[in-house]
Amino acid sequence: MRAVFFDLGDTVWHFPRRPPPADVAREITRRVQGLLGEWGLASGIDAGGLHRRLGEGWDAAERAADADGGVGPHYPSLASEAARTAGLDLTAEQVERLWDAQNAGGRFLGRVVLPDAVATLEALCERGFRLGVITNRGHGGPPFLAELDDYGLGGFFETVVSSDQVGYRKPHPRIFQEALDRLGVRASEAAHVRDRLEADVAGARRAGLSAVWMRGVNASEREPDRADQQPHFVIDRLTDLLTLPILSSTAG
């Protein structure tokens, strides 16, 4: 075993103090309204309605992508379509900024790094394991890397593979293969850690990685009911990784 990949939500960090949905909607509407004002387009445009249309399109597109095995979606196109529906003809740069405004951000959402995360990541690095992130996100790229740095986590991960950047969502094998290729390791030499059975456990197994199911944070996740959802290992806390046979000694 040479590499360990993580998703982040309910694995490395979580949201114990997430604000009510109405507060999140107000914040994003404020940001959208600010953009429209900056562009001289605020007159006659319902910023809250634009935010809602974009959010609805986002949800529908991800559901469709997951039903289709995890291909797509292209998020700026969703922002462009929502803008057109509102009567706006935006430039490509404006579309990107409108999409970015939909991301409330981890600080606003009350994101907290799990108390054992840093110590566990440090221990894995000391044992010689190479670490990476494989995550389904609508907002990846440089802003997300900056968020990781803001939480003191960026230095642990050699690569961060986000679905919006590669065009495939877990459980599609292509997103796992992208991560493997970036580190130059084989699937048999890597493990993936997360709390979701279909996207992460089943996805990792299909791609040939060792699947570690962390079930402690997200207690609502059901027990696996299909053979391909059976994890190779089960942990309740991140520090339990350090006792797993495949990770208990130095990297191979």
- Rounded CA Rg of the chain: 19
**Strand pairing class (112-113; 13-14):** antiparallel
Q: Does residue 89 have an active-site annotation?
A: no
- Which H/E stretch holds residue 51? helix 47-67
User: Which pair of structure tokens corresponds to residue 79?
Assistant: 């922002």
**Strand pairing class (130-135; 159-162):** parallel
**C-alpha separations of 200 from 6, 103, 147 in Å:** 9, 23, 22
DSSP string, 163-228: HHHHTB-TTSHHHHHHHHHHHT--GGGEEEEES-IIIIIIHHHHHTPEEEEE-SS-TTSPPP-SGG
Integer Cα distance of 23 and 95 in angstroms:
24
Integer Cα distance of 233 and 215 in angstroms:
11
Residues recognised as catalytic:
7
